[in-house]
């Protein structure tokens, strides 16, 4: 049985359907991520799980028991708020011991557990500090410690890294993964950052306008987005208008208007005449100087329009002669990568015939 | 003269208007003369007279009793009103609570008087004054408490519930400690407003009861004696101390909420 079961949950605010018939099963021990653009209903869903808001339809079950009618304080679910929500009039120790006090634990047990969890988040020396004396990263860790200390069945984290700068955010991501593995508590993590979601999660639910577009492991979502929204939202991707010319059992023949014919991997349900897009990851696209390097792939001539060198990789933007524009991502460490292309260079753009994904409208 | 020295002169003038009369009152309370005319010499005699004036002492005790009781009750009610206004965002309540703050005192005095006599059939006296003072103090407390809540992250209170606190525990352990400075500031403001209120007290006082401001008024009808200066000085000292303490508790919220 799933630890948390969200069954056809809907929440409306007037005419707006903030959460639209959402169903999710979250297993014990999972690092589950709700990913979606801001305003897509992530917080609304969390608030219903926490008990601050009630669904207009559907059920939320924990260990198979309907949570309707259970107030927030009675749910073994804790939340790490985006704003941290530390109690400003309590020290770090006061904040972290709060859930234990509410649970009626003995002072001895509280002392032991608080020390344990503060060690875990590397804040042992900050016990007597007040929240306003801490840096953003430290506050974040106090909020985490406070959420974990009483070992809830479920810890929900609402964009917890949103307020941190890039470097700290990366450090905290690594700490979060380690922490979740070590404590074994189920995490429901909310973010609008696809990179964060891919890096942290066991499973991701991609949300859009209150609905779940796709729910799967990060690599599946990245490699096999089910529709254009997911493809576009997760990672960088080339989206080319496309029409199916032939749907063979082992491949598709696709026409890209203004560009020509390409081959793409077969797709169930694809049929001749279907219109849609061909989604192509930049790292699947290569660029080369000469035609014979790429003869057996889908290939088109073009000119380098721009490039972005970021150390380990370079992203090239190539204008194809037929007017389309394609992004290609080349690792700078690739063997035989002697030549870097310059703006204006005439090149060939190519991708393997088994790369790309046809997504019908 | 340039712009800034103009501003300086004007402010100096304004402050002079405000404070010179007060300073004169204080100075003459120590003057060894029956007349507020010229400086004769230093004495504490008028304070001695004051403390032997039985009527004055009785008025002072009344004033303090009224200020403490109405301050406490107004603080309790005002705090609740402030929280309710913040939490439930009712449409009418803010107006109802804050109107007495903005309404001309004379109107409030007259309407309370009519209410006590014609509707409640109450004998005017300490009780009527206390009720009247509570009425106009609640608004001040509510304003300060609400201002304090408004500057706070809402999710703090949800976090408390989320971490296992019942609504009552949340109030006791989180909400109240956080609004405490506002509550204390509100209480101290209520106290000062009550202790030197004249107009509303004048309308709601019965026969045989007096408060310090009323007593002072009845004395200066005859003459401004040095004893009046002395009692005014003490009253001023009390008010000033209270306000300074209050502003320590709620430096931001007090601004703009003062009468
Ligand atoms: N209490 C509310 N009243 C009205 N609309 C709300 C309320 N809470 C959220 N919404 C709306 O619901 C939608 C989803 O909000 P939210 O769940 O906060 O999105 P996210 O967390 O994904 O950014 C938004 O359009 C938001 O404006
Ligand atoms: Mg949100």
Question: What digits encode the pLDDT tens for the residues A126-161?
Answer: 999 999 999 988 999 999 999 999 999 999 999 988
pLDDT range class, residue A84, cuts 50, 70, 90: very high
Is A73 close to B158, i.e. CB distance below 8 A?
A: no
Q: Please name the residue whose Cα sits nearest to atom 18 of ligand 1.
A: A43
Kindly state whether residues A208 and A297 are assigned to the same domain: no
> What percentage of residues in chain B have a pLDDT greater than 90?
41
Q: What are the angstrom distances between the C-alpha of A122 and each of A14, A86, A172, A178, A187?
A: 45, 17, 12, 13, 20
pLDDT given at position B1 = 58
* Pair A173, A73 in one domain: yes
The C-alpha atoms of residue B190 and residue B145 are separated, in whole angstroms, by: 13
Domains by residue range for chain B, with CATH: 53-258 (1.10.3720.10)
* Res. A329 pLDDT band, cuts 50 70 90: confident
| One domain, residues A189 and A207 | yes
pLDDT at residue A26 greater than cutoff 90: yes
CA distances from B41 to A250, B46, B237 (A): 114, 13, 22
User: What is the mean predicted confidence (pLDDT) over B58-76?
Assistant: 95
pLDDT at residue B35 in the model: 77
pLDDT-based confidence at A323, cuts 50/70/90? confident
User: Does residue B259 carry a pLDDT above 60?
Assistant: no
Q: Distance, CA A206 to ligand 2 centroid (Å)?
A: 14
Q: What is the pLDDT of residue B33?
A: 83
Between CA B171 and CA B184 the distance in angstroms is: 16
pLDDT given at position A336: 56
Give the percent of chain A with pLDDT over 90. Answer: 56
CATH code of the domain in which A275 resides: 2.40.50.100
Q: What is the mean pLDDT of chain A?
A: 90
Protein residue with its CA nearest to atom 5 in ligand 1: A13
Return the SS3 of A345: coil
Last residue of a domain, one of A231, A258, A280: A231
| Cα(B165)–Cα(B148) distance, integer angstroms | 22
pTM exceeds cut of 0.90? no
Which residues of A are less than 8 Å from B163 in CB distance? 73, 78, 98-99, 102, 146-147, 150
What is the rounded average pLDDT for all residues in chain B?
Answer: 87
pLDDT, position A76? 95
Atom 1 of ligand 1, residue of closest alpha carbon: A13
Same-domain status, A156 and A90: yes
Which chain B residues contact residue A72 at CB under 8 A?
A: 158, 161-162
Distance CA B231, CA A214 (A): 79
Q: Are A152 and A12 part of one and the same domain?
A: yes
What CATH code is carried by the domain that includes residue A126? 3.40.50.300
**What's the Cα-to-Cα distance from A247 to each of A56, A243, A258, A261, rounded to whole Å?**
44, 11, 21, 13
**In this complex, do B161 and A71 lie within 8 Å of one another by their Cβ atoms?**
yes
A86/A141 Cα distance (integer angstroms):
11
Where in the sequence is the domain holding A312, given as residue range(s)? 236-360
Distance (Å, rounded) from C-alpha A81 to C-alpha A95?
A: 14
Average pLDDT of the segment spanning B43-53: 88
pLDDT given for residue B257 in this prediction:
41
Q: Read off the pLDDT of each residue in A1-27 and give the average, rounded to a whole number.
A: 95
Interface test with A, best of B151, B155, B158, B164 (most A CBs within 10 A): B164
Per the CB < 8 A criterion, the answer to whether A71 and A51 are in contact is yes
pLDDT of residue B99: 81
Smallest Cα distance from B161 to chain A, Å: 5
Q: Do residue A128 and residue A246 come from a single domain?
A: no
Confirm or reject contact between B168 and chain A (CB < 8 A). no
Is residue A275 scored above 70 in pLDDT?
A: yes
Q: Which residues pair with A349 in a beta bridge?
A: A287, A300
| Distance separating alpha carbons of residues B42 and A353, to the nearest angstrom | 107
Q: Are residues A166 and A257 in the same domain?
A: no
- Torsion from C-alpha of A198, A199, A203, A208, nearest 10 degrees: -40
pLDDT band for position A258 (50/70/90)? confident
pLDDT in tens, B83-99: 999 988 888 888 888 78
Residue with the bigger pLDDT between A334 and A114: it is A114
Q: Residue A32: pLDDT band by 50, 70, 90 thresholds?
A: very high
pLDDT reported for residue B120: 83
Same domain? A184 vs A316:
no
Q: What is the pLDDT of residue A335?
A: 59
Same domain assignment for residues A241 and A106: no
What's the CA-to-centroid distance between B151 and ligand 2, angstroms?
Answer: 21
pLDDT reported for residue B258: 40
Q: Do B163 and A52 touch (CB under 8 A)?
A: no
**ipTM attached to this prediction:** 0.81
Q: Which residues line ligand 1 (CB under 6 A)?
A: A 13, 16, 18, 36, 38-44
Average pLDDT over residues A223-233: 90
Looking at residue A311, what is its pLDDT? 79
pLDDT > 70: percent of chain B: 96
Within an 8 Å CB–CB cutoff, is residue B164 touching chain A?
Answer: yes
Do A58 and A117 belong to one domain? yes
Give the tens place of pLDDT for each residue, B147-204.
Answer: 889 888 889 999 999 999 999 999 999 999 999 888 998 999 899 999 989 999 999 9
Instruction: Check whether residue A251 and residue A160 sit in a common domain.
Output: no
| Domains in chain A, number | 2
Query: In the listed set A182, A208, A231, which residue is the last one of a domain according to the structure?
Result: A231
The two tokens of residue A136 are 């953003």
Q: Tokens standing for A132?
A: 């306003």
Same domain, A131 and A269: no
**pLDDT value at B250 more than 80:** no
User: Nearest CA to CA, how far is B171 from chain A (Å)?
Assistant: 13
b (16+ CB within 10 A) / e for A7-26:
bebbbeeeeebbbbebebbb
Alpha helices in B103-151 (DSSP H): 105-114, 126-150
């Amino acid at each position: 049985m799933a630890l948390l079961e969200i069954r056809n949950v809907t929440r409306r605010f007037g005419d707006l359907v903030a959460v639209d018939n959402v169903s999710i099963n979250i297993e014990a021990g999972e690092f589950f991520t709700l990913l979606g653009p801001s305003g897509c209903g992530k917080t609304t869903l969390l608030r219903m799980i926490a008990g601050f808001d009630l669904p207009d339809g559907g059920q939320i079950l924990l260990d198979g028991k309907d949570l309707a009618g259970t107030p927030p304080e009675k749910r073994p679910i804790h939340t790490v708020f985006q704003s941290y929500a530390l109690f400003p009039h309590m020290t770090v120790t006061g904040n972290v011991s709060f859930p234990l006090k509410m649970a009626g634990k003995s002072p001895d047990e509280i002392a032991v557990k608080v020390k344990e969890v503060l060690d875990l988040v590397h804040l042992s020396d900050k016990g007597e500090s007040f929240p306003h004396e801490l840096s953003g990263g430290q506050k974040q860790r106090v909020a985490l410690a406070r959420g974990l200390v009483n070992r809830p069945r479920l810890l929900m984290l609402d964009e917890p890294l949103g307020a941190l700068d890039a470097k700290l955010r990366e450090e905290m991501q690594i700490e979060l993964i380690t922490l979740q593995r070590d404590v074994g508590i189920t995490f429901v993590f909310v973010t609008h950052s696809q990179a964060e979601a891919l890096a942290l999660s066991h499973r991701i639910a991609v949300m859009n306008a209150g609905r779940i577009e796709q729910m799967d492991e990060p690599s599946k979502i990245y490699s096999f987005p089910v529709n254009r929204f997911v493809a576009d939202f997760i990672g960088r991707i080339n989206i080319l208008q496309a029409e199916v010319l032939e749907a063979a059992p082992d491949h598709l023949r696709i026409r890209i208007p203004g560009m020509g014919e390409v081959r793409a991997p077969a797709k169930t349900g694809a049929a001749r005449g279907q219109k849609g897009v061909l989604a192509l990851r930049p790292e699947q696209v290569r660029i080369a100087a000469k035609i014979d390097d790429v003869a057996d792939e889908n290939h088109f001539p073009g000119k380098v329009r721009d490039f972005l060198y970021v150390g380990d990789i370079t992203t090239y933007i190539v204008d194809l002669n037929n007017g389309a524009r394609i992004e290609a991502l080349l690792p700078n460490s690739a063997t035989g990568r002697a030549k870097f292309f310059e703006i204006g260079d005439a090149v060939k753009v190519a991708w393997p015939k088994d790369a790309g994904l046809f997504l019908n409208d | 003269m340039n712009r800034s020295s103009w501003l300086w002169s004007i402010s100096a003038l304004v402050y002079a208007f405000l404070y010179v009369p007060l300073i004169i009152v204080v100075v003459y309370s120590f003057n060894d003369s029956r007349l507020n005319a010229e400086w004769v010499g230093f004495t504490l005699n008028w304070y001695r007279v004051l403390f032997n004036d039985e009527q004055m002492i009785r008025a002072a005790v009344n004033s303090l009793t009224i200020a403490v009781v109405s301050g406490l009750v107004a603080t309790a009610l005002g705090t609740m009103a402030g929280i309710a206004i913040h939490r439930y965002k009712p449409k009418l309540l803010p107006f109802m609570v804050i109107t007495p703050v903005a309404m001309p005192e004379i109107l409030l005095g007259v309407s309370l008087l009519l209410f006590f006599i014609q509707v409640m059939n109450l004998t005017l006296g300490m009780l009527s004054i206390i009720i009247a003072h509570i009425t106009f103090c609640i608004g001040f407390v509510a304003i300060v408490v609400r201002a304090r809540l408004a500057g706070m992250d809402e999710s703090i209170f949800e976090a408390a519930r989320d971490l296992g606190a019942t609504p009552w525990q949340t109030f006791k352990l989180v909400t109240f400690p956080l609004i405490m400075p506002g509550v204390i500031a509100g209480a101290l403001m209520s106290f000062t407003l009550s202790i030197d209120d004249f107009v509303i007290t004048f309308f709601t006082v019965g026969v045989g009861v007096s408060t310090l401001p009323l007593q002072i008024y009845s004395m200066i009808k005859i003459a401004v004696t040095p004893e009046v200066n002395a009692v005014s000085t003490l009253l001023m000292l009390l008010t000033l101390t209270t306000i300074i303490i209050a502003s320590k508790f709620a430096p931001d919220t007090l601004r703009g909420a003062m009468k």
